[in-house]
Amino acid sequence: MRIVQQDNQHLALKVALRQETMRVAGCLSMPCVCETHGGTGDLARLCYADATGMVIDRDTDRVDRLAFTRPTWQVYEGDAPTVLASGLGAETAWDVLDCDPYGSPWTTLEAFFVTPRALAPIMALIVTDGSRQKQRLGGTVYGWEPWQEHYGQNLWDVFLRCSRDRATALVRHAGYALSWWHGRYGGRTGQMTYWGAVLRQREDRYSDEPAQAPAA
Ligand SMILES: C[S@@+](CC[C@H](N)C(=O)[O-])C[C@H]1O[C@@H](n2cnc3c(N)ncnc32)[C@H](O)[C@@H]1O
């Protein structure tokens, strides 16, 4: 049996999630967008019509099409985690990070948030995660080991809450805290996870003071 990847299953849900997250982040109009998996460009056409930005894909034909349809954007062909970890786009403070891969988004998200880069005070982060099913079938998915150990098969039931915990821990590296979050399951068996978050720079991000204990 041949498995056909469907790029934009739940297109309406993905569009609504992007619009809501950008609205809450205050960057619905003319955002500066980093799109890590450009695909056929359907989402950008519906969500980022007045945006500028950078888009990456590893597929040569898709990159050619993206470059043709988005003449004002920076368009790159490459493996998203690798090029982000090497500093691509690090000089720009992006308003939106859009991560819509086929499987797990976490290597891409880690490459973005752990690599030194310019950071906007507020940022909309919108993510698709297709790895929930693999975990249910007993597969190991990179970086989920502590949660798999803790929850075992029950990780399926709490996957969204754990995604939020994992995102909170990751964006701390870049001085961000989550100020808003919304997530949904999707797909015929609930195998897809879609979430959006608004990130704000923490006021104490440069502090080397230990947290003060409340006065007795
Ligand atoms: C779900 S589709 C993205 C759909 C896109 N948001 C759209 O609006 O059409 C996933 C895309 O990621 C690309 N891709 C898969 N692995 C990649 C990687 N490691 N680095 C960059 N692009 C990758 C695929 O070529 C495919 O175009």
User: Which of 58, 60, 76, 96 to mutate to test ligand 1, by most ligand atoms within 8 A of the CB atom?
Assistant: 58
pLDDT in tens, 151-192: 988 899 999 999 999 999 999 999 999 999 999 999 889 999
pLDDT value at residue 94:
98
**Residue 58 Cβ < 6 Å to ligand 1:** yes
User: Which of 11, 37, 86 to mutate to test ligand 1, by most ligand atoms within 8 A of the CB atom?
Assistant: 37
pLDDT value at residue 138:
75
pLDDT in tens, 35-66: 999 999 999 999 999 999 999 999 999 999 99
Q: Which domains does the chain have, with CATH numbers?
A: 11-201 (3.40.50.150)
How far is ligand 1, taken at its centre, from the CA of residue 7, in Å? 8
- What ligand 1 atom has the least distance to the C-alpha of 83? 20
Place of tokens 């690599």: 115
pLDDT > 50? residue 25? yes
Place of tokens 């960057």: 27
59: closest CA among 107, 102, 13, 94?
102
